[in-house]
Structure 1
Amino acid sequence: MSRARRLGCDVRVSDSTTFQASARSRQVLWGVVLALAVGGCGRNDLTQVPPPPPPPPVASVEVSPTSATLDSGQTLSLNATPKDGGGHAVPGLPVTWMSDDTQIATVTPAGIVTALTGGTATVTATSDDVRGRAEIAVIAPLPPPGVSCLTQPGAVLTVSGVQTSALVDTSLALNAKIAASTAQFLTSENIPIRVGGNAGLCFSAGGVMGTLPPATPWIRMHKTYGLVPYARSFRLERLRVFDYGMGVSMDAAGDASWSLRDVYFTYIRDDCVENTFLNSGTIENSLFDGCYEAFSSRPYTTPPPDGSNNLVVVRNSLVRLQDMDQGYLRPGHGGFFKWYPAAPKVSLYHTVFRVDSPNIENSVLVPLPDQLQDCVGNVMIWLGSGPFPEPLPARAGCFTLLTGAEGLQYWNDAVARWKAEHPAMSADLGPPIVSLYSPADSTTLTGVVTLTATAVDDQAVAGVQFALNGQNIGAEVTTESAATKFTLPWDSHAVANGTYALTARVRDGVGQATTSAGVTVTISN
């Protein structure tokens, strides 16, 4: 038997031809047989590729992104890359995923995270017993109407009593809560409340009472803000603000998806709600009783943001514009909507608007048609002279127009009903404010004259008493002639000719009183 036969080797000549080494081909194949015998004829295929080397050990697992803040219900796809000691990706290795708190966030075998409720969860990616992590922060869902945001998970900061200095804390934790139901901010600070930090911040209740008189110039009032938040998904509820330039100002790009509920803003000299970066937001079940401008979405940064894909919703609220003694250019008001062309769309539901005069600024009383997304069941009360100054939306069911005594009664009933549903808002927190409106300083008075003071309280003015050199003249005026205006017809023959200091003293229903700055008048009869 030949050596090749004894070795039992096959010879593969090509990919398709194989034959046994035998006597007939001994001479042809002898060289090949010898080569196989020397190299080990256990190999059947001369073209066989050696197996690849094993992958290098995994030294780290890189997860991307390493952290994220999600709204409840939002999903996020994570990526995991195993890497060797040199930082090079090791392909083809399996990765397993796990969340350490599936009540807050879950993760699929493919690395897709679903946020469930407020809190933080660590999502781990494991490959070859090496782990990488991503920290997932979940913003607490906004509670349903009627349920306080204080019920959300998160640390609580309690603020109580009279606050004579500003509250400033811009490093609050995720879903932090500020409980301020008994807090009264009576401070000369331009911004008495400045809070923020992580997302989901809840600020609940409290009062911010201003003291600047109605004659204060607009430019001075423009620097004052009741509250300025710096937080995504900020939620504000049951806060009262009286006599500030802005009631609340969302003044940062990150103030997305804000929410105002059950707030009460009175005598706000500029914007009741300022939305500078054109973010989405919701206003619900709130009373804005006297705004120079109600809602502003006008940027001041360059380049301006584009908020045209965002939405501001106003629902079940009451909004009244107030003619201010000191407007931006002159006395008056600036309209319900100070709205930039690329500002958010607006949806209005079951909200009552009251206006007593045309606006003096380049704002509008009604959103422009291309910016009004939805509009259902609203009431516009016009108490000025002549027809309503702007065309109301033509779509059915959007607005009902009421005028005159019917409109005023409708407004008064709606305000009384709102306050009955918000009893905590009926306590008088601060003293009233007052300025003389007419006559002007250095005026000569002759015969019967009209004295007018502008007086406002966070609840209601009980009466205004005019005085010359500290001595009362005429009867106390207890009824407004127009909103915030208290007028006394007075016969100047009642006093001797001469120069006097004219003042007005206002009191509220709980006995708090304020006296105006005086003006010099000369009686000449």
Structure 2
Amino acid sequence: MDRRSFMSLAGSSVFALLPGWQEAQGGQAPLPAIDSGKGQPIVLNGEYGYEQQSFRDLPEGATIDARNASFLVANSRNSEPSAMMGCDEGTLPVNRYPLVIRDCPGVRFIGGRFNGQVPQTSDWRDTYCNSAAVLVRGETANATIEGVRARRCWDGIRFTEGAGGFHLKGSWLSEIRDDAVENDYLLSGTVEDCLFDGCFSGISVDPAKNDRDGTNEVVHIDGSLIHMHAYLAKGEITHQTPVKAVDQSPRLRITGSVFALAAANMRGFHRLERTWRLAIECRDNMLLWLPDEPMPFEFPMPPSGFRVLKGIDARRYWDKARLHWITAHQDVARFTDEAL
């Protein structure tokens, strides 16, 4: 896929909002009206800080409009967890799951700005107090999560048991200390038109030691940009893979997407090889090797559905693709100190 064809794909609109306006509260900018066909949307406005917002047993197909809402994500009780003082020790406030959706089949969650306070320089294992900006759980099949802006979180979006058929789209996640998307229950779902601009791990479909089997499920990664970021992890500055997979993971469809690898000493070559093997469809993708160092001899090269760029060519491609995505998604919230 050349630059022009990718830019055309990445520039597609992500919001299907109908004409009309509704008055927003608290002096916020008016929001385009939404007609979900399921009654009036639930509207969240303003700063929620460390207060968790939880939704349960909503009518099927309900809409939660959080485009004028902001949340804080905090997983550590101290600002620099260590082997001597872990993330569960200290006096700082925590808000490990600021937005929880449970038992809401067909729910549509739109927007939300999640500003994380998860430590960025401490070792991964000392910072591992589980957390996610958005948690979708229980009987919440076929949920749509769109237009989320989140940064400096542990996990970005997490889908757990009962949340199969999820659709994450048009969302911008950055500086993610663990998984941009955690799908460790091995559910079918789609990640479409998203920008993951710096994450230790991209999309996790690894149940760890749990006895789960997702071999009959499919995850589609479509039109998305996944940029890995190296963090301190077990004494080494490194990162994991764009897809963290095991043999029992769902099959993969990878189309029109970009995987950008930042660390020459990245971990998980076996996971990368497994990602290629799990792909039942693979076309129009880019693999960007961003370091100037050559690819290691043992690096598992992708299948023919990927074009590979290295070094300065890869970095230029990423910079253009990232800027184009951001420019094309003006409806996604920004932080006031955002440097674009």
Name the TM-score, length of structure 1 as normaliser.
0.51
Q: CA RMSD in A?
A: 2.3
Match of 1:204 in 2: 110
User: 1:240, 1:263 within 8 Å by CA — same for their partners in 2?
Assistant: yes
Match of 2:43 in 1: 158
* Structure of higher RCO (CA pairs closer than 8 Å, 6+ residues apart): 2
Q: Evaluate the alpha carbon distance shift between residue 178 and residue 400 of structure 1 in structure 2; reply closer, same or farther with a 3 A threshold.
A: same
Match of 1:260 in 2: 168
Q: Provide the identity percentage.
A: 23
Quote the Cα distance in structure 1 between the aligned partners of 2:250 and 2:133: 23
Which residue of the other structure, out of 136, 155, 158, is the alignment partner of 1:229?
136
Name the TM-score, length of structure 2 as normaliser.
0.78
Deviations 1:185-243 (A, max 9, x none): 02530111111223101110011101233224424344121110121111100001111
Quote the Cα distance in structure 1 between the aligned partners of 2:335 and 2:251: 36
Match of 1:239 in 2: 148
Larger Rg: 1
Corresponding position: 1:374 with 2:281: yes
Which residue of the other structure, out of 147, 156, 169, is the alignment partner of 2:16?
147
Letter of the aligned partner of 1:174 in structure 2? E
Match of 1:337 in 2: 243
Match of 1:311 in 2: 218
User: 2:276, 2:303 within 8 Å by CA — same for their partners in 1?
Assistant: no
Which residue of the other structure, out of 96, 104, 116, is the alignment partner of 1:190?
96
User: 1:354, 1:380 within 8 Å by CA — same for their partners in 2?
Assistant: yes
Deviations 1:8-64 (A, max 9, x none): xxxxxxxxxxxxxxxxxxxxxxxxxxxxxxxxxxxxxxxxxxxxxxxxxxxxxxxxx
- Relative to total residues, which structure has the larger strand share, 1 or 2? 1
Q: Evaluate the alpha carbon distance shift between residue 381 and residue 265 of structure 1 in structure 2; reply closer, same or farther with a 3 A threshold.
A: same
Letter of the aligned partner of 1:422 in structure 2? H
Offset of residue 361 of structure 1: 4.4
Matched ranges for 1:353-392 at <5 A: 353-357=259-263, 358-361=265-268, 364-365=271-272, 367-384=274-291, 385-387=293-295, 390-392=299-301
Quote the Cα distance in structure 2 between the aligned partners of 1:222 and 1:363: 26
Aligned residues: 285
User: 2:118, 2:154 within 8 Å by CA — same for their partners in 1?
Assistant: no
Deviations 1:278-328 (A, max 9, x none): 0101011110000100010111464x2211011101111111000013x25
Quote the Cα distance in structure 2 between the aligned partners of 1:331 and 1:405: 21
Q: Evaluate the alpha carbon distance shift between residue 154 and residue 221 of structure 1 in structure 2; reply closer, same or farther with a 3 A threshold.
A: farther
Q: Evaluate the alpha carbon distance shift between residue 265 and residue 328 of structure 1 in structure 2; reply closer, same or farther with a 3 A threshold.
A: farther
Deviations 1:231-286 (A, max 9, x none): 1111100001111110011122x111001000100000001111011010101111
Match of 1:277 in 2: 185
Which residue of the other structure, out of 170, 188, 199, is the alignment partner of 1:291?
199
Letter of the aligned partner of 1:170 in structure 2? R
Structure 2 unaligned residues grouped into runs of 5+: 1-12, 19-33, 74-93
Quote the Cα distance in structure 1 between the aligned partners of 2:303 and 2:196: 26
Structure 1 unaligned residues grouped into runs of 5+: 1-143, 432-458, 461-508, 510-525
Offset of residue 175 of structure 1: 0.8
Offset of residue 363 of structure 1: 5.8
